[in-house]
Structures are given as C-alpha cells and as structure tokens.
Structure 1
Amino acid sequence: MALGRRRLLIGFAGAGGLAMAGCAGEPTPPKPATIRFDPPPGAHDVDARSPGTVTVTDGTLRSVEWIDETGRSLPGAPAPDHRTWTSAEPLGYGHTYTARAVAQGEAGDVTGTATCTTVRPQQLIDVSLRSANLVELAENDTYGVGFVLVAQFDEPVDRAAAERHLKVTTQPAVTGAWYWLDDHNAHWRPERYHAPGTRITIEADLFGVALGEGRYGLRNQRVSVIIGPAHVAIADDDTKQIEVYDNGNLVRTMPTSMGKGGTSVVGGRYLSFWTRPGIYTVLDQNDPVIMDSATYGLPTNSGGYRTSINHAVRISHDGIFVHELASTMWAQGNTNVSHGCLNISPNDAAWFYDFVIPGDVVEVRNTGGDPLDIWQNGDWSVPWSDWLRGGTPA
C-alpha cells in the first residue's frame, strides 16, 4: 500500500508540472501601431482654421506627408515623443489634401493614408479697423478720449456671427458695446469717454468664420491704440463761447459764431443751417482746406461759397468745421452768421488747430435744429441705453 501511495503522488506532481510548463510557454503577439488622421479620411468642408494632425497608438511616427492639390507640402513637426504630428499652419480654404504617414510598432512598420477637402467660400470678406475719421488704425496711434472704433466690412455680413469674433479689450478695463449702423458698419464705444492713458486692443479673428450666405472672413487682425490727454471743447450757444479743457482744466475761451439757423430747399434738397446740438469728435485737420458749399447742395449762385480756409478742424462727416474766419470776428461771441460751422478768430484757430488730435471731444450745446445724428459723427450723442439696443444680441 505504501508503494502504491507514493506512485500516485508522483503521478499528480508530474501532471501538475507539465501543466504549468505549458502555460508559461505561450508568447504574447506584438501589437501593431495604429494611425489616426484628423480631419478623418473622407472629410468634406473642413473648417479652414483647423490644423492637420496625425496620432499614433502603440508606436512612433517615422514620416508624415500632407500634400495639397498643387503638390505643396503642408509644413508641420512631430512632438518630442514622435507620437503626434501637427501642421504649422491651418488647412485654409478650398484645398484637397492627401496625407500619408508611416509608423513603427512592435509588429513593424505600418502605413496609413487619408484625403480630405476644406470649405470653399463663395466670397471672402475683409474688415477695415478704423477710427471715426475712417482712417485705418495703426499700432500705437494716439487718439482723444472720444475715440470710436469703426469696423467696416466690404460686404454685408451676419451681424451676430461677425460680432462674436470682434474682441475689444481695454487697459484699464471698461465695458463697451457695438452699435450696428447697417450690415457693413459696426461702431464700438464705452458708456463714457475713455480715461487718458487707456490702451485699446482690437482683435478681428475672422479667418475661417462663416459670415452668412457662403461668405467667410479673409484674415485675422490685431491692433492697439492709446488714448491721449482729455481734450474737451464745449461750445455753448447761450454764451457763444467755446471753452477748451485740458484734463479738466480750462485752458482757453474762444468767442464763436455758429450756424445762423433756419432751413431751405435748394434744387429739391433739404438744407439746414443750424450747428446741430450734440457731441462731436475731431475727425481731421486741414491747413488750408477748400470749402465748397456745392458739395452739400448749396451752389454759389444760391447764396453758397467756395473759398480757402486756414486752420480748419473737421468735426462732422457733412462738413462742419471749427475754423478761422476773420471776416466774422464782429459776430463772434454775440451773433450766429455761419452756414453751420463754428467760426473763430485766426489766433484762436491756429492755437486750436495745434492743440487737438483726432478723437478729441467738441460738445455743442443749446443750439437749434435737429440733434446730431450718428452718421454725421454723432456716436457719443446716442444715449447709452439706445446704444445697447443697437448692438447685436450674443
């Protein structure tokens, strides 16, 4: 019996030993590398802002080619671990790409290919970033505290889509809003005049953005401007004086003669001879400027004029200036005799011309006629509550 028991135990031990040896001997198969493209193969109307990317699982990239329809290679670079590759520029508009990547894994090299097409706009739209004088902004330009930002699109746009990609930041921070005059033009300002020294940065990130009816943004733009000293001139028809303030300090008082008032219809065109009440800003300066009343419908044979004027500061788009006129010095400070401009003496005009910059404020108070309209350069004349209603909801 003892011998039989020993043989049985050896038999069990031997069987167990053979079983364990069999499990340990099965090799683990090598994992093949997997390649993923983004945009995925066969994608159409891909966002022009998207980069091209290649990602590898269980391996590393050996090479990547991303070629457009012209044979141009899209530039790009792999990550340090060679598990991803990203293009150095967006895919852009209207391209057909063929991508090829080779990756190395435990199972050896694998190759992947893909094709995709990007969105093809019916039309590309650009925007000009300007001040109220319609001159394009340049980096670090200086403007007065009444600066208004103008975004002027060269074609009609979806206002909400465009506004989402127009970003204005200020240092120090203030709240501002856009007011759309029409589908081409949007103006931005805060509730109150800017603080001197404020830096305003405008970013129009419109490249790749759908702006309605098959139109897309042409490019991205960014520009910063600076607000200078607080120059505010207050022209009061009750006193017929212009008080000029520099950072809150009264620095000059200038007698003036403003619009004589009344209206007329000439050649079927309605004309007003008031200096409209409201808040203007300086648009530009000319020394001299040729003033021709025929440009707004009043020919010389109907009481108009064409003459050269020195030291003229333009404050409206329809031809209102603060300018010198020696021939009306008798009226300056007591009687309004102009067609709408603010006449001042040659000495005062030369000083004012040198003092102001675009964006400085000229407030006209207590005159007759209709209030200044926004199209005339009356952005600051629009009450803040109305300005907010003129913007596009988010």
Structure 2
Amino acid sequence: MVLGRRRLLIGFAGAGGLALAGCGQEPAPPKPATIRFDPPPGTLDVDPRSHGTVTVTDGTLRSVEWIDETGRSLPGAPAPDHRTWTSAEPLGYGHTYTAKAVAHGEAGDVTATTTCTTVRPRQLIDVSLRSANLVELAENDTYGVGFVLVARFDEPVDRAAVERHLKVTTQPAVTGAWYWLDDQNAHWRPEHYHAPGTRITIEAELFGRALGEGRYGLRDQRVSVMIGPAHVAIADDDTKQIEVFDNGNLVRTMPTSMGKGGTTVVGGRYLSFWTRPGIYTVLDRNNPVIMDSATYGLPTNAGGYRTSIDHAVRISHDGIFVHALAASMWAQGNTNVSHGCLNLSPADAAWFYDFVIPGDVVEVRNTGGEPLDIWQNGDWSIPWSEWLRGGTPA
C-alpha cells in the first residue's frame, strides 16, 4: 500500500510538470535599430558652428554619408562603439545637406535619410587684430606696457553682438574694457599700464555669429602677445627734458625742443604747432624717414619742409616723432622750435631709437594746445571713467 501511494504522488508531480511546460511565453520579436539625425530632418537656417551627428538606438552604425549641394562628403567618424557618428568639421555657411545612414539591429539593417540647410549670410565680416600701430598681431610678439589692442572690422557691426564674442584674458588677470571709436573700430586696454611679463590672449570667436543686419563673422582667431619691460619716457615742457625710466629706474635724461606753439589755417585747413599734452605710445621706428609737412597740409612754400630725418620714433598717427635734429641742439633744453615733434641730439636720438619697442610709453606734460585725441594715438589719455562708457556718448 505504501509503495502504491508513492507511485501515485510521483505521477501527479509528473503531470503537473507537463502542465507548467505547456504555459511558457513565446520569445519577444527582434527590435529594429532606430536612427536619429541632428540637425533634425528638414531643419532650416542651421547654426553654421554646429556639427552633424547620427545616433543609433538598439543597434550599431554600418555607414554614414553626409553630402553637401556640390557632392562633397562631410568628413566624420563613428565612436568606438559605432552607436554615434560626428562630423569632423562644422556644417558651415550656405549649405544644403543630404545625409544617409545604415544601421544594423536585431531585425537586420535599417536605412534613414535627412536633409537640412545652414544659414546663408547676407555678408561675411572679418576682423583684423592689431596693436595701436595698426600692424597685425603675431603670436608671441612683445610690446611695451602701453600696449592697446585694436579690433578693426571690415564693415560696420552691431557693437553689443560683437563684444559677446571678443574675449581678452591676461596672465596675471586684470580688468580691461572696449572703447568704440565707431562701428568698425574698437580698442581694448586696462585702467593702468600693463605689468611687465603679462601675457595677453585675444580670442575672436566670430565664425557663425550674427553681427547685425544679416552679417555674420567670417572666421575665429586667437593670438597671444607678451608685455616687455616698463619703458616710460616723460617729456616735460617746464624743464624741456625727457626723462626715460626702465622698470621705474631713471636711465637717461635728454634735453629736447618741442612744438613752438600757435596755429594757422592753410588752404582752409586748421594746423596746430603744439606738441599736444597726453600719453602717447611708440608706434614704429624708421632710420631714416622722409618727413614731408605737405602730408598734413603745410607745403614748403608756406613754411613747411621735406627732409630726411635719422632715428625717428613715431608716437602719433598724425606725424609726431621723437627724432634726431642736430640743427636744433642750440634750442634743446631751453626753447621750443619744432612744428610739433620732439627734437633730440643725434646721440640721444640713436640711444632712444635702440631702447624702445612698440607700445612703450611717452608722456608729454605741461605743453599748450588741445589734449591728445584718441585718433592720434591717445588711448591712455582718456580717463578710465570715460573709457568704461565704451565710446558711447554720455
């Protein structure tokens, strides 16, 4: 009897096992791969700075073609897991793209296509990054402590739009500001002269940026320059001496003769013979240079000149130089006889010529005439409170 009952229990267990096996679920169907494009299909006026991307869910990429309107393939590469693809360059201006991607998933291969168009500017604007001497900056150039950054745009721009994409950083850090002469010219400087050894990096990230009235930036730029020793020359009309300082130490005192003063009108043009008071910086040097007063409106038959001058250091855009003039040595240190330049002896002029670099400071004090204007190279003559207004009238 015991054995029979046991067999009966085993029989029920076997029957139950068969019943459970019969209730199992069918396997889920294979998932198809899905493909997503960015920019999304049909997008217009795509940001030129953006990159094309393809992303696959539930699968991996087999191939991607991203072709512009000329038939050129946009270069790009998949990620190591082959689930994404990214173009190697931005989409750029004025393109119509057609993209095709093939992905493989559990259900086999799937194919997807897309089209998009990028912004087509009315005009492309470029900017020239210069120092005050209007020469393009080059990587690791060295300038004096009076260095001023000049951004010159080839067409008028929206000032606020541009400033968002002009970045100036300094090491050590210092606060600076932009001052706009007009809608094409912006200057940047800090409140005080730069510290010797400062590195200044300028980044103009303008490519793909709207600059107003359908204009966009042509390209991005980045350049770094260095600040050299603190060379400051102080020309004082009360003493008629120029004191030259190197990192705060007086290294030379030079007698000078400055502008004789007075004004005149020649051919309807107003001319001043003062050496205007203010803070100049060295723009460039020439040895020799031909000085021709006719270039600023004073012909030789009206008391002007045209002559070759040695060791000439230009400090203004309207023709003020620190230069050699042996003929005025009798006046240097006691009488002003020039048309506006600062005359030196040949020996002093040669020394000064060799000592200075662009961006070094020349402060002119106690002379007559109107104060130095910014267009003449008078950036540092503008009070900081006024500079912070950015060139916008009060």
* Bin of the TM-score, shorter chain as denominator length: over 0.9
1:115 Cα shift? 0.5
| Cα distance in 2 for residues equivalent to 1:22 and 1:261 | 115
Q: Quick check: 1:144–1:357 contact (8 Å CA) kept in 2? A: yes
| Cα distance in 2 for residues equivalent to 1:231 and 1:386 | 26
Number of residue-to-residue matches in the alignment: 394
In structure 2, the residue corresponding to 1:9 is in which secondary structure? helix
| Cα distance in 1 for residues equivalent to 2:158 and 2:316 | 29
| Cα distance in 2 for residues equivalent to 1:391 and 1:93 | 32
| Cα distance in 1 for residues equivalent to 2:307 and 2:161 | 47
1:181 Cα shift? 0.7
| Cα distance in 2 for residues equivalent to 1:392 and 1:17 | 90
State the Cα deviation string for residues 157-191 of structure 1 (Å, max 9, x = none). 11111111111111111111111111111101111
Q: Quick check: 1:67–1:74 contact (8 Å CA) kept in 2? A: yes
State the Cα deviation string for residues 337-364 of structure 1 (Å, max 9, x = none). 1111101111100000010000000000
Indicate the residue corresponding to 2:315 in structure 1: 315
Q: Quick check: 1:97–1:117 contact (8 Å CA) kept in 2? A: yes
1:213 Cα shift? 1.1
Q: Quick check: 2:311–2:353 contact (8 Å CA) kept in 1? A: yes
1:122 Cα shift? 1.2
| Cα distance in 2 for residues equivalent to 1:182 and 1:75 | 41
State the Cα deviation string for residues 18-68 of structure 1 (Å, max 9, x = none). 875455232212111110000111011111111000001111111111011
Q: Quick check: 1:163–1:392 contact (8 Å CA) kept in 2? A: no
Q: Quick check: 2:61–2:84 contact (8 Å CA) kept in 1? A: yes
| Cα distance in 2 for residues equivalent to 1:180 and 1:20 | 85
| Cα distance in 1 for residues equivalent to 2:183 and 2:343 | 37
Indicate the residue corresponding to 2:48 in structure 1: 48
| Cα distance in 1 for residues equivalent to 2:36 and 2:392 | 41
In structure 2, the residue corresponding to 1:362 is in which secondary structure? strand
Q: Quick check: 2:181–2:391 contact (8 Å CA) kept in 1? A: no
Q: Quick check: 1:160–1:392 contact (8 Å CA) kept in 2? A: no
| Cα distance in 2 for residues equivalent to 1:147 and 1:153 | 19
State the Cα deviation string for residues 87-115 of structure 1 (Å, max 9, x = none). 00000111111100011111111101000
| Cα distance in 2 for residues equivalent to 1:225 and 1:378 | 21
| Cα distance in 2 for residues equivalent to 1:136 and 1:110 | 53
Indicate the residue corresponding to 1:107 in structure 2: 107
| Cα distance in 1 for residues equivalent to 2:338 and 2:224 | 39
Indicate the residue corresponding to 1:164 in structure 2: 164
RMSD of aligned C-alpha atoms?
2.8
1:233 Cα shift? 0.1
| Cα distance in 2 for residues equivalent to 1:68 and 1:273 | 62
| Cα distance in 2 for residues equivalent to 1:11 and 1:202 | 89
Q: 1:235 to 1:99 in 2, by over 3 A?
A: same
Q: 1:35 to 1:23 in 2, by over 3 A?
A: farther
Q: Quick check: 1:52–1:91 contact (8 Å CA) kept in 2? A: yes
In structure 1, the residue corresponding to 2:72 is in which secondary structure? coil
| Cα distance in 1 for residues equivalent to 2:393 and 2:325 | 47
Indicate the residue corresponding to 1:66 in structure 2: 66
TM-score, normalising length: structure 1 = 0.95
Q: 1:6 to 1:123 in 2, by over 3 A?
A: same
| Cα distance in 1 for residues equivalent to 2:74 and 2:226 | 38
Q: Quick check: 1:235–1:364 contact (8 Å CA) kept in 2? A: yes
1:11 Cα shift? 13
Q: 1:105 to 1:336 in 2, by over 3 A?
A: same
Q: 1:154 to 1:2 in 2, by over 3 A?
A: same
| Cα distance in 1 for residues equivalent to 2:8 and 2:32 | 47
Q: Quick check: 1:279–1:372 contact (8 Å CA) kept in 2? A: yes
Q: Quick check: 1:159–1:392 contact (8 Å CA) kept in 2? A: no
1:5 Cα shift? 15
Q: 1:93 to 1:364 in 2, by over 3 A?
A: same
| Cα distance in 1 for residues equivalent to 2:258 and 2:80 | 72
| Cα distance in 2 for residues equivalent to 1:137 and 1:258 | 32
Q: 1:295 to 1:23 in 2, by over 3 A?
A: farther
Q: Quick check: 2:231–2:361 contact (8 Å CA) kept in 1? A: yes
State the Cα deviation string for residues 232-267 of structure 1 (Å, max 9, x = none). 000000100000001111000000111111111111
1:392 Cα shift? 7.9
Q: 1:112 to 1:327 in 2, by over 3 A?
A: same
Q: 1:68 to 1:392 in 2, by over 3 A?
A: farther
Q: Quick check: 1:177–1:391 contact (8 Å CA) kept in 2? A: no
Q: Quick check: 1:242–1:255 contact (8 Å CA) kept in 2? A: yes
| Cα distance in 2 for residues equivalent to 1:22 and 1:377 | 95
Among the aligned pairs, what percent are the same residue?
A: 91
| Cα distance in 1 for residues equivalent to 2:144 and 2:36 | 54
1:274 Cα shift? 0.7
State the Cα deviation string for residues 193-225 of structure 1 (Å, max 9, x = none). 111111111111111111111111111111111
Structure 2 residues without counterparts, runs of 5 or longer: none
| Cα distance in 2 for residues equivalent to 1:221 and 1:304 | 44
| Cα distance in 2 for residues equivalent to 1:196 and 1:50 | 40
Q: 1:175 to 1:19 in 2, by over 3 A?
A: farther
TM-score, normalising length: structure 2 = 0.95
Q: 1:138 to 1:164 in 2, by over 3 A?
A: same
1:2 Cα shift? 17
| Cα distance in 2 for residues equivalent to 1:158 and 1:393 | 16
1:377 Cα shift? 0.2
